Structure 1
Protein backbone atom coordinates (compact mmCIF):
# COMPACT_ATOMS: atom_id res chain seq x y z
CA UNK A 1 0.00 0.00 0.00
CA UNK A 2 1.25 3.49 -0.83
CA UNK A 3 0.41 7.06 0.10
CA UNK A 4 -0.57 9.90 -2.21
CA UNK A 5 2.87 11.39 -2.88
CA UNK A 6 4.55 8.01 -3.36
CA UNK A 7 1.79 6.91 -5.75
CA UNK A 8 1.96 10.10 -7.80
CA UNK A 9 5.75 9.81 -8.07
CA UNK A 10 5.31 6.20 -9.26
CA UNK A 11 2.94 7.42 -11.96
CA UNK A 12 5.62 9.78 -13.21
CA UNK A 13 7.88 6.77 -13.84
CA UNK A 14 5.55 5.68 -16.67
CA UNK A 15 7.15 6.25 -20.08
CA UNK A 16 5.94 9.60 -21.42
CA UNK A 17 4.36 10.79 -18.16
CA UNK A 18 4.29 14.57 -17.87
CA UNK A 19 2.15 15.25 -14.81
CA UNK A 20 -0.40 13.64 -12.56
CA UNK A 21 -2.77 14.43 -9.73
CA UNK A 22 -5.29 12.97 -7.31
CA UNK A 23 -8.57 14.86 -7.54
CA UNK A 24 -11.75 15.13 -5.46
CA UNK A 25 -14.41 15.00 -8.18
CA UNK A 26 -17.15 16.56 -6.06
CA UNK A 27 -15.18 19.77 -5.49
CA UNK A 28 -12.67 19.66 -8.35
CA UNK A 29 -9.86 20.20 -5.84
CA UNK A 30 -6.39 18.70 -6.24
CA UNK A 31 -5.39 16.55 -3.26
CA UNK A 32 -1.87 15.96 -4.56
CA UNK A 33 0.10 16.52 -7.74
CA UNK A 34 3.44 15.76 -9.34
CA UNK A 35 5.19 16.71 -12.56
CA UNK A 36 4.67 19.77 -14.72
CA UNK A 37 3.38 20.99 -18.04
CA UNK A 38 -0.30 21.57 -17.27
CA UNK A 39 -2.18 23.78 -14.80
CA UNK A 40 -3.43 20.89 -12.67
CA UNK A 41 -5.88 23.04 -10.69
CA UNK A 42 -7.66 24.05 -13.89
CA UNK A 43 -7.44 20.55 -15.37
CA UNK A 44 -8.79 18.98 -12.17
CA UNK A 45 -11.80 21.28 -12.11
CA UNK A 46 -12.58 20.66 -15.78
CA UNK A 47 -12.13 16.91 -15.61
CA UNK A 48 -14.30 16.71 -12.51
CA UNK A 49 -17.09 17.99 -14.75
CA UNK A 50 -16.25 15.29 -17.31
CA UNK A 51 -16.59 12.57 -14.65
CA UNK A 52 -19.86 14.04 -13.33
CA UNK A 53 -21.29 14.28 -16.86
CA UNK A 54 -20.40 10.66 -17.64
CA UNK A 55 -21.93 9.42 -14.38
CA UNK A 56 -25.10 11.42 -15.07
CA UNK A 57 -25.32 10.06 -18.61
CA UNK A 58 -24.87 6.50 -17.34
CA UNK A 59 -27.68 7.10 -14.85
CA UNK A 60 -30.03 8.43 -17.55
CA UNK A 61 -29.24 5.47 -19.78
CA UNK A 62 -29.81 3.01 -16.96
CA UNK A 63 -26.23 1.74 -17.21
CA UNK A 64 -24.99 0.04 -14.09
CA UNK A 65 -21.43 -0.43 -12.95
CA UNK A 66 -18.50 1.86 -12.45
CA UNK A 67 -16.24 3.81 -14.77
CA UNK A 68 -12.89 2.01 -15.13
CA UNK A 69 -11.22 4.94 -16.81
CA UNK A 70 -11.84 7.75 -19.25
CA UNK A 71 -9.34 8.37 -22.05
CA UNK A 72 -9.03 11.73 -23.77
CA UNK A 73 -6.77 11.67 -26.82
CA UNK A 74 -5.28 14.93 -28.08
CA UNK A 75 -2.92 15.52 -31.00
CA UNK A 76 0.17 14.96 -28.86
CA UNK A 77 -1.12 13.79 -25.46
CA UNK A 78 -3.16 11.13 -23.72
CA UNK A 79 -5.16 12.12 -20.64
CA UNK A 80 -6.22 9.22 -18.41
CA UNK A 81 -8.89 9.74 -15.75
CA UNK A 82 -9.18 6.77 -13.37
CA UNK A 83 -11.85 6.94 -10.64
CA UNK A 84 -10.79 5.14 -7.47
CA UNK A 85 -12.83 2.04 -6.69
CA UNK A 86 -11.92 2.11 -3.00
CA UNK A 87 -12.44 5.85 -2.50
CA UNK A 88 -15.61 6.96 -4.25
CA UNK A 89 -15.43 10.57 -5.41
CA UNK A 90 -11.67 10.58 -6.05
CA UNK A 91 -9.86 10.04 -9.33
CA UNK A 92 -6.32 9.80 -10.60
CA UNK A 93 -5.51 12.09 -13.51
CA UNK A 94 -2.45 11.39 -15.67
CA UNK A 95 -1.12 13.28 -18.68
CA UNK A 96 1.15 11.42 -21.10
CA UNK A 97 3.22 12.51 -24.08
CA UNK A 98 1.63 10.50 -26.88
CA UNK A 99 4.88 9.98 -28.82
CA UNK A 100 6.75 8.62 -25.78
CA UNK A 101 4.14 6.43 -24.13
CA UNK A 102 2.57 3.01 -24.48
CA UNK A 103 -1.11 3.51 -23.70
CA UNK A 104 -1.85 -0.11 -22.76
CA UNK A 105 1.05 -0.27 -20.31
CA UNK A 106 0.19 3.14 -18.88
CA UNK A 107 -3.43 2.15 -18.24
CA UNK A 108 -2.28 -1.04 -16.49
CA UNK A 109 0.19 0.83 -14.30
CA UNK A 110 -2.45 3.43 -13.36
CA UNK A 111 -4.79 0.58 -12.40
CA UNK A 112 -2.11 -1.06 -10.24
CA UNK A 113 -1.26 2.18 -8.48
CA UNK A 114 -4.95 3.04 -7.95
CA UNK A 115 -5.54 -0.34 -6.33
CA UNK A 116 -2.67 0.19 -3.87
CA UNK A 117 -3.23 3.86 -3.07
CA UNK A 118 -4.23 4.71 0.48
CA UNK A 119 -5.78 8.13 1.07
Structure 2
Protein backbone atom coordinates (compact mmCIF):
# COMPACT_ATOMS: atom_id res chain seq x y z
CA UNK A 1 0.00 0.00 0.00
CA UNK A 2 1.17 3.50 -0.83
CA UNK A 3 0.71 6.73 1.10
CA UNK A 4 -0.43 9.94 -0.57
CA UNK A 5 3.16 11.18 -0.83
CA UNK A 6 4.41 7.93 -2.38
CA UNK A 7 1.49 7.84 -4.82
CA UNK A 8 2.18 11.39 -5.99
CA UNK A 9 5.91 10.67 -6.44
CA UNK A 10 5.09 7.56 -8.49
CA UNK A 11 2.78 9.52 -10.78
CA UNK A 12 5.31 12.28 -11.31
CA UNK A 13 8.28 9.97 -11.93
CA UNK A 14 6.69 7.07 -13.79
CA UNK A 15 4.58 9.07 -16.25
CA UNK A 16 6.83 10.90 -18.68
CA UNK A 17 5.72 14.47 -19.22
CA UNK A 18 3.91 14.76 -15.89
CA UNK A 19 3.29 18.38 -14.96
CA UNK A 20 1.40 17.97 -11.70
CA UNK A 21 -0.50 15.48 -9.56
CA UNK A 22 -2.90 15.63 -6.64
CA UNK A 23 -4.96 13.43 -4.36
CA UNK A 24 -8.28 15.14 -3.75
CA UNK A 25 -11.27 14.64 -1.46
CA UNK A 26 -14.25 15.36 -3.73
CA UNK A 27 -16.69 15.68 -0.84
CA UNK A 28 -14.87 18.83 0.30
CA UNK A 29 -12.82 19.79 -2.78
CA UNK A 30 -9.65 19.86 -0.71
CA UNK A 31 -6.35 18.48 -1.98
CA UNK A 32 -4.86 15.99 0.49
CA UNK A 33 -1.54 16.31 -1.29
CA UNK A 34 -0.04 17.86 -4.41
CA UNK A 35 3.22 17.57 -6.31
CA UNK A 36 4.36 19.63 -9.27
CA UNK A 37 2.20 22.30 -10.78
CA UNK A 38 3.43 25.87 -10.65
CA UNK A 39 2.41 29.39 -11.52
CA UNK A 40 0.37 28.31 -14.54
CA UNK A 41 -0.99 25.18 -12.88
CA UNK A 42 -2.36 25.82 -9.38
CA UNK A 43 -3.23 22.31 -8.25
CA UNK A 44 -5.35 23.44 -5.29
CA UNK A 45 -7.57 25.50 -7.61
CA UNK A 46 -7.69 22.58 -10.08
CA UNK A 47 -8.63 20.20 -7.26
CA UNK A 48 -11.62 22.30 -6.28
CA UNK A 49 -12.71 22.81 -9.89
CA UNK A 50 -12.45 19.15 -10.79
CA UNK A 51 -14.53 18.29 -7.76
CA UNK A 52 -17.38 20.12 -9.52
CA UNK A 53 -16.73 18.06 -12.67
CA UNK A 54 -17.10 14.81 -10.73
CA UNK A 55 -20.20 15.96 -8.90
CA UNK A 56 -21.84 17.03 -12.17
CA UNK A 57 -21.07 13.69 -13.82
CA UNK A 58 -22.38 11.71 -10.84
CA UNK A 59 -25.62 13.77 -10.88
CA UNK A 60 -26.01 13.24 -14.62
CA UNK A 61 -25.51 9.49 -14.24
CA UNK A 62 -28.15 9.42 -11.49
CA UNK A 63 -30.63 11.31 -13.70
CA UNK A 64 -29.97 8.86 -16.52
CA UNK A 65 -30.39 5.91 -14.20
CA UNK A 66 -26.92 4.58 -14.99
CA UNK A 67 -25.75 2.00 -12.46
CA UNK A 68 -22.11 1.95 -13.57
CA UNK A 69 -19.22 3.59 -11.70
CA UNK A 70 -16.90 6.27 -13.08
CA UNK A 71 -13.41 4.89 -13.65
CA UNK A 72 -11.73 7.97 -15.03
CA UNK A 73 -12.41 11.26 -16.76
CA UNK A 74 -10.19 12.71 -19.48
CA UNK A 75 -10.10 16.40 -20.32
CA UNK A 76 -8.12 17.27 -23.44
CA UNK A 77 -6.63 20.75 -23.79
CA UNK A 78 -4.46 22.14 -26.57
CA UNK A 79 -1.17 21.10 -24.98
CA UNK A 80 -2.21 18.99 -21.98
CA UNK A 81 -4.25 16.03 -20.86
CA UNK A 82 -5.98 16.27 -17.48
CA UNK A 83 -6.83 12.86 -16.03
CA UNK A 84 -9.15 12.25 -13.10
CA UNK A 85 -9.24 8.75 -11.60
CA UNK A 86 -11.70 7.96 -8.82
CA UNK A 87 -10.29 5.90 -5.95
CA UNK A 88 -12.46 2.84 -5.41
CA UNK A 89 -10.74 1.04 -2.52
CA UNK A 90 -12.44 0.86 0.85
CA UNK A 91 -10.13 3.54 2.26
CA UNK A 92 -10.44 5.82 -0.75
CA UNK A 93 -14.16 6.42 -0.99
CA UNK A 94 -14.70 10.07 -1.92
CA UNK A 95 -11.17 10.57 -3.27
CA UNK A 96 -9.72 11.00 -6.73
CA UNK A 97 -6.30 11.15 -8.31
CA UNK A 98 -5.64 14.08 -10.60
CA UNK A 99 -2.80 14.05 -13.09
CA UNK A 100 -1.80 16.67 -15.65
CA UNK A 101 0.52 15.58 -18.45
CA UNK A 102 2.13 17.29 -21.42
CA UNK A 103 0.35 16.17 -24.58
CA UNK A 104 3.49 16.01 -26.74
CA UNK A 105 5.81 14.29 -24.26
CA UNK A 106 3.41 11.80 -22.71
CA UNK A 107 1.82 8.51 -23.63
CA UNK A 108 -1.85 8.73 -22.65
CA UNK A 109 -2.35 4.95 -22.49
CA UNK A 110 0.66 4.53 -20.19
CA UNK A 111 -0.51 7.40 -18.00
CA UNK A 112 -3.90 5.73 -17.57
CA UNK A 113 -2.19 2.42 -16.80
CA UNK A 114 0.00 3.99 -14.10
CA UNK A 115 -2.98 5.89 -12.63
CA UNK A 116 -4.93 2.63 -12.35
CA UNK A 117 -2.02 0.89 -10.61
CA UNK A 118 -1.37 3.79 -8.21
CA UNK A 119 -5.09 4.04 -7.42
CA UNK A 120 -5.19 0.35 -6.49
CA UNK A 121 -2.23 0.77 -4.11
CA UNK A 122 -3.28 4.05 -2.48
CA UNK A 123 -3.81 3.85 1.28
CA UNK A 124 -5.21 6.92 3.01
1:88 positional shift? 1.6
How many residues of Structure 1 are paired with residues of Structure 2 in the alignment? 119
TM-score normalised to the size of structure 2? 0.94
Quote the RMSD (CA, aligned, Å): 0.6
Of 34-43 and 20-29, the range deviating more from structure 2: 34-43
CA separation in 2, counterparts of 1:64 and 1:15? 34
CA separation in 1, counterparts of 2:51 and 2:108? 22
Structure 2 residues not aligned, in runs of 5+: none
* 1:61-95 per-position Cα deviation (integer Å, ceiling 9, x unaligned): 00012100000000000000001001221000000
- Matching residue of 1:92: 97
Structure 1 residues not aligned, in runs of 5+: none
What is the correspondence of 1:6-17 to structure 2 with a 5 Å cutoff? Answer: 6-13=6-13, 14-17=15-18
TM-score normalised to the size of structure 1? 0.98
- Matching residue of 1:3: 3
1:36 positional shift? 2.0
CA separation in 2, counterparts of 1:41 and 1:7? 17
1:114 to 2:114 alignment: no
CA separation in 2, counterparts of 1:36 and 1:76? 15
